[in-house]
Amino acid sequence: MSHQSDFGPDLVEVFGPSQQDGGPELIQLLTPEGERVEHPDFSFDPGEGVDEAETIRGFYRDMVLTRRIDTEATALQRHGELGIWAQLLGQEAAQIGAGRALRPQDFVFPTYREHGVAYCRGVDPLSLLGLFRGVDQGSWDPNANNFGLYTIVIGAQALHATGYAMGIQRDGAVGTGDPERDAAVIAHFGDGASSQGDVNEAFIFAASYNAPVVFFCQNNQWAISEPIERQTRIPLYQRALGFGFPGLRVDGNDVLATYAVTKAALQRARDGQGPTFVEAYTYRMGAHTTTDDPTRYRLNDDVEHWKLKDPIARVKVYLTRNGLADDSFFDKVQDEADELGHHLREGCKALPDPKPLSIFDHVYSEMTDELAAQRDAFAAYLASFEGTAVSGGN
């Protein structure tokens, strides 16, 4: 039997050195050193009659502004203006590559970290701060930019995305060949989320109904303090093979490759060819959130190793070395970033606190008598303090 009991994958291989940088299956079009490279299946195509350099400069700008959103918000948290902030430092290329691959009619289901994708969809970055400041739970209109609300319960949105995609199928907006009509959905989640039942059920439903959804997983190597090895012992993109749809691992720090792969996956969905799993292989350079202390669980060496793969630096090197952008361009982007920073700093402090009685709003499409009575009683209670100072506090 011992021969027969000796089958299955060789784990040493799986997380051996070959994997450290994503392994051979990593799809890359722009190296950390800023060199363009070829890939047999994927190439960077900005689209009919669109200037390539212009597009890449646009990506650069997007990533710089996205990073600025992150650093400003982090600073605002330090200054007590935000309760907490989920940092995306290091994941700019993954988010801009995915965000720019979308068409207006596509719909996005984000986690709590998709600030770059939100920016691509035209959501005012300021409105992202409300949730972290505690003045709302997501103030943008999901249907205004086809960008859903941040979802905090890990994995829940993967099912919403699949259901939304099933709705698109029922609207006959898949596989018609009309580029303005055919739509797809992208579900964002992290490496840790891949362990949740909901995410795996989403794979089941998407495969069963061949739903037009792209499962976009940013594998930033960590779920708070837990390394990717705790969630999977094989490369994560291979999870899709168990459900009968393709899985791809792209260099998540390479905006060109992420754009190309996501665009292909989205088109495949719009064409009616069903779901795709995209693993954007990247690294969480910051803490899990501003309340986390990564020094308790990870080595600085890793972080240093990944610094060399910075998603923005490689594009800057590429643009400069090939004379596709000059200082005036970079200065202009810098100025825009400063403006954005100003907008966020000033805007954040100006975000109005909700009114106490708003607690009772929108629990239902119309307030029930039961709830109205509770609200009125509370209003009367609050009124009873007018003039007098509430001693307050618990």
Partner 1 sequence: MATQKITLAKGLNMGLRKAMEDDPKVLIMGEDVGKLGGVFRITDGLQKDFGEDRVIDSPLAESGIVGTAVGMAMRGYRPVVEIQFDGFVYPAYDQIVCQVAKLQFRSQGKLKMPMVIRIPFGGGIGAVEHHSESPEAQFAHTPGLKVVACSNPVDGYWMIQQAIACDDPVIFLEPKRQYHADKADLDEDAGPDPLFQSRVVRQGTDVTVLAYGPTVKTAMKAAEAAAAEGRSLEVIDLRTLSPLDMAPVLESVRRTGRAVVTHEAHVNLGMGAELSARITEQCFYSLEAPVLRVGGFDTPYPPSRIEEDYLPDLDRVLDAVDRSLAF
Ligand X SMILES: Cc1ncc(C[n+]2csc(CCOP(=O)(O)OP(=O)(O)O)c2C)c(N)n1
> Residue 136 is encoded by which pair of tokens?
């709302």
What is the closest distance, in whole angstroms, from the C-beta atom of residue 241 to a copy of itself in the complex?
Answer: 5
In the block, residue with structure tokens 């907490």: 84
Number of residues forming the site for partner 1 (CB under 8 A): 85
What is the closest distance, in whole angstroms, from the C-beta atom of residue 207 to a copy of itself in the complex?
Answer: 5
Q: Catalytic: 188?
A: no
Closest CA to 190 of 315, 336, 86: 86
Sole window of 58-66, 216-224, 255-263, 301-309 interacting with Mg ion (rule: CB under 5 A):
216-224
Residue 74 neighbours by CB under 8 Å, 6+ apart: 85, 87, 286, 290
Q: What is the distance between the alpha carbons of residues 170 and 161, in angstroms, rounded to a whole number? A: 14
What x/- string results for residues 257 through 286 when contact with partner 1 is judged by CB under 8 A?
Answer: ------------------------------
End-to-end CA distance of the chain: 67
Q: What is the distance between the alpha carbons of residues 133 and 73, in angstroms, rounded to a whole number? A: 10
Residue count (the chain): 394
Q: What is the distance between the alpha carbons of residues 317 and 198, in angstroms, rounded to a whole number? A: 41
What is the closest distance, in whole angstroms, from the C-beta atom of residue 66 to a copy of itself in the complex?
Answer: 25
Residue closer to ligand X (CB basis): 85 or 222: 222
Sole window of 23-31, 49-57, 334-342, 383-391 interacting with partner 1 (rule: CB under 8 A):
383-391
Site for a copy of itself in 193-232 (CB under 8 A): 195-198, 200-201, 204, 207-208, 210, 229-232
CA 355 to chain centre: 31
Closest CA to 316 of 102, 100, 34, 28: 34
Q: 382 vs 88, 105, 378, 392, CA distance in Å?
A: 41, 46, 6, 11
Q: Catalytic: 288?
A: yes
Q: What is the distance between the alpha carbons of residues 132 and 88, in angstroms, rounded to a whole number? A: 14
* Interface residues toward ligand X, by CB under 6 A: 113, 152-154, 189-193, 220, 222-224, 284, 288
Q: Catalytic: 297?
A: yes
Site for partner 1 in 150-209 (CB under 8 A): 152-154, 156, 158-171, 185, 192-193, 195-198, 201-202, 204-205, 208
The residue from 121, 270, 288, 375 that is catalytic is 288
Site for Mg ion in 162-191 (CB under 5 A): 190-191
386 sits near partner 1 (criterion: CB under 8 A): no
Burial of 222 (0-12, 13-18, 19+ CB in 10 A): buried
Quote the radius of gyration of the chain (alpha carbons, Å).
23
The residue from 268, 284, 314, 375 that is catalytic is 284
234 sits near partner 1 (criterion: CB under 8 A): no
What x/- string results for residues 1 through 20 when contact with a copy of itself is judged by CB under 8 A?
Answer: xx-xxxxxx-x--x------
What is the closest distance, in whole angstroms, from the C-beta atom of residue 307 to partner 1 in the complex?
Answer: 22
Residues that bind a copy of itself (CB under 8 A): 1-2, 4-9, 11, 14, 41-42, 45, 195-198, 200-201, 204, 207-208, 210, 229-234, 238-246, 260, 263-265, 267-268, 271, 273-274, 276
User: Hey, which residues are catalytic here?
Assistant: 284, 288, 297
